[in-house]
A and B are shown apart, each in its own frame.
Chain A
Amino acid sequence: DAKTTQPPSMDCAEGRAANLPCNHSTISGNEYVYWYRQIHSQGPQYIIHGLKNNETNEMASLIITEDRKSSTLILPHATLRDTAVYYCIVRVAGGAQKLVFGQGTRLTINP
């Protein structure tokens, strides 16, 4: 699976949009981009995933660049409960489907 690069930490004001970048320059054509987050001392929570089109769900939006070498997770109106470590993972949809976690981005939402 392709490796990803994320900033180690970010801050965002409550109520503002949080934009979390992820670089995955070696992504293959059949690899998806997944985002999970982990709130302190809990199991990771699935947020969203996409292949090449932008995606949106009730939690977030995922913007993937045209060359697919990077993506941005957008939390439109961040709340204090969004404080967590956010992981960007790329992998193929089939096969063993194991997730390989990097170090992620520690997002802190400030009041």
Chain B
Amino acid sequence: GAVVSQHPSRVICKSGTSVKIECRSLDFQATTMFWYRQFPKQSLMLMATSNEGSKATYEQGVEKDKFLINHASLTLSTLTVTSAHPEDSSFYICSARVSGSSPEQFFGPGTRLTVL
């Protein structure tokens, strides 16, 4: 299957700082990417849908000014957690849909964010 990478895989930061997470589709073009968050022992929660060249669509309850999403190219989407606080500590996962008619989504390995 198609490969999606995330960087960094793990990040620790101080409260109040901003953290950027990159999601890349390595061997395919992705017009749509998705960002999820997963707390310990819980399921994945969709945060937003990112479309190349347009504004992201956020799920209800997700603050768009806190979680900035940019999808500037067909292979890269970034999620920036602004002014991070300890409650933002979580496992952030992106997925990408292959352009065209394929319904499959391929997931990145995830980024574990710890805010001290």
Contacts and interface: CB of A to CB of B under 8 A. Distances in A.
Whether chain B is bound by chain A comes out as yes
A96 B57 contact: yes
A44 B82 CA distance: 26
A49 B91 CA distance: 26
Interface residues of A, number: 22
B103 A101 contact: no
B44 A101 contact: yes
Given A43-B110, A45-B107, A99 B34 contact: yes
Nearest to A45: B107
Interface residues on B, range: 20 to 34
Given A44-B93, A46-B1, A97 B105 contact: yes
A42 B36 CA distance: 13
Nearest to B1: A46
A93 interface: yes
B71 to A, nearest CB: 14
Interface of A: 32, 34, 36, 38, 41-46, 49, 87, 93, 96-104
Interface of B: 1, 4, 6, 32, 34, 36, 43-46, 49, 57, 91, 93, 95, 97, 103-110, 112
